[in-house]
Structure 1
Amino acid sequence: MAKTKILFITHEMSPFLELSKISEITRQLPHAMQEKGFEIRILMPRFGNINERRNRLHEVIRLSGMNIVVDNNDNPLIIKVASLPAARMQVYFLDNEEYFQRKKVFRDEHGKFFEDNNERSLFFCKGALETVKKLGWSPDVVHCHGWFTAMVPAYLKTVYQNDPAFKDAKVFYSLYNEDFDQASLGTKYAEMAGQVDIDPEKLKDYGSGSYIDTYKGALSFTDVVVKSPGAQHPELDEYIQKNSIRVFEPASDDDYEAFGELYDEFVNEEVSA
């Protein structure tokens, strides 16, 4: 029997970048699933404060060289990889000089949210899926972590829905308490995604690009929402209930038995709302 394939897409992962609890979850959960026999791939941005030498990143020439279109501009995509020997896992890093080679991640030295975070997110979301296609690997589950991945579910359910690499993939989206509630990606986030890729009407739930609207947009294309213990989102809870989105609430972040059972169930059976 073929191994279940899980793609993890995240903006942070320990030990490479540690901004929040997401970094620890995206380090431990893939490892635990690999130990259970799942086939794992992990993708994240190569932000400028990730030390290449210390973490032994090196470019993957056969995967690099693509251009990702954002706001009608071609942006070169460089793919790098690092190994976690203790876990026998590889992590793929998406790099671009203009978007990621900064000393700060999402805010400048004065704490101001970067104005082009919407472009940076779209570049990463689309680039991640194009990278997986180039790998020649077809995931059964795509599990997204963090607001930076918020357009991945939309791309999967529209642009890539008939692509052989993703046509059978199910989308998981994890909700956390993130440092994004006082910022916004703006209405241009959905507008740019819809320029050449998606019918803008399908992206209406991304709304203003606010903290809540960004998540609503992502959840509107999600098969299972994973609620991290302690995450509080009353407005999103109402949205989830109204739209009959399946919810998975693990007893703890390391409830790996439950995660493993869910991944397998979701792949092997059609999940009803």
Structure 2
Amino acid sequence: MNGKKILFVSSELVPYLPENEVSLMSYETPRMVNSNGGQIRIFMPRYGNINERRHQLHEVIRLSGMNLVINDMDMPLIIKVASIPKERIQVYFIDNEEYFKRKATFADEDGNLFADNDERAIFFAKGVVETVKKLNWSPDIIHVHGWMASLLPMYLKQYYEDEPLFADSKIVMSVYGKSFEGELDKEMHKKVAFDGISEDKIEALKTPDYNNLLKIAVDFSDAVILASEDIPEDLNNHIANLQKPVLPYVSLQEFEEAYANFYNTEVLK
């Protein structure tokens, strides 16, 4: 991984959110790349339940200040950063008062998904790309974790297809077990289509459940990692039919060599 630039984009990340499969691998994978001489950048949403004082988040004025258009609305983009001290890893947080101020990640205290999760996912995908453009940092690999980040591959390959900064970037999607029941907003596909993305390319988003979000993500990725032992059968079958590299599940204890080898031999070939 020496000298390779890898952008990690994740829904969740320890130590900022509780430990689960997604948040733990979103930490361990960049830590592995960092310790093997790679250059990394990490992005996640700045949910309201992240303790800014304890984790020493601060706004980056030079990166903040632009507006992103989401479903014909101007939404201000705020960028914050923090460091994971023991690893000397810097994390960029995508923030917006309307979307990320509430004191929870994806659902309310009764377990109901937030009605605007679809717009939050669109905002996050666009916010990451616009910030990386401002950083003028061209990644060799873009590794995506978690469903809130799952629109990023499609936006990169469609909305930002003429952006030279990402012309040679390879997208890897880590697929985890089902993490929410039900569906996002029924109008989600229309909100994505508003950005000029052809509806026939996002047909699956007419039923915006977990499996279909991940199907869209893997369809627009260059390679796939099965990051859980328990992937929904429908999603597993979809991935099995893709004509692209797929890394089968490996445990946390064995992932470092497997992921590094997959990057080097299958993704960057």
Alignment check: 8 A CA contact 1:205 1:220 kept: no
Letter in 2 for 1:224: A
* Alignment match, 1:245: 244
* Alignment match, 1:214: 213
Q: Residues of 1 paired with 2:243 and 2:216: CA distance?
A: 15
Q: CA deviation at 1:197?
A: 3.5
Q: CA deviation at 1:2?
A: 7.5
**Two-structure CA RMSD over aligned residues (Å):** 1.7
1:143-171 alpha-carbon deviations (Å, 9 max, x no partner): 11111011101011112222121111111
TM-score (normalizing by structure 1): 0.93
Q: Residues of 1 paired with 2:113 and 2:103: CA distance?
A: 14
Q: CA deviation at 1:137?
A: 0.3
Secondary structure, counterpart of 1:91 in structure 2:
strand
Residue range with higher mean Cα deviation, 227-236 or 117-126: 227-236
Q: 1:96 to 1:145 in 2, by over 3 A?
A: same
* Alignment match, 1:184: 183
TM-score (normalizing by structure 2): 0.94
Residue range with higher mean Cα deviation, 213-222 or 199-208: 199-208
Letter in 1 for 2:50: I
Letter in 1 for 2:79: I
Q: CA deviation at 1:229?
A: 3.8
Alignment check: 8 A CA contact 2:178 2:211 kept: no
Residue range with higher mean Cα deviation, 221-230 or 144-153: 221-230
1:163-211 alpha-carbon deviations (Å, 9 max, x no partner): 121111111111111321x221244222211202312222123331012
Q: CA deviation at 1:19?
A: 5.5
Letter in 1 for 2:196: D
Q: Residues of 1 paired with 2:106 and 2:2: CA distance?
A: 39
Q: CA deviation at 1:240?
A: 1.6
* Alignment match, 1:168: 168
Alignment check: 8 A CA contact 2:2 2:36 kept: no
Q: 1:230 to 1:218 in 2, by over 3 A?
A: same
Percent identity for Structure 1 against Structure 2:
43
Letter in 2 for 1:253: L
Secondary structure, counterpart of 2:77 in structure 1:
strand
| Structure 1 unaligned residues grouped into runs of 5+ | none
Q: Residues of 2 paired with 1:162 and 1:2: CA distance?
A: 28
1:5-51 alpha-carbon deviations (Å, 9 max, x no partner): 11111111111112622111111110111111111000001000101
| Structure 2 unaligned residues grouped into runs of 5+ | none
Q: Residues of 2 paired with 1:35 and 1:25: CA distance?
A: 15
Alignment check: 8 A CA contact 1:140 1:168 kept: yes
* Alignment match, 1:17: 17
* Alignment match, 2:136: 136
Q: CA deviation at 1:66?
A: 1.2
Secondary structure, counterpart of 1:139 in structure 2:
coil
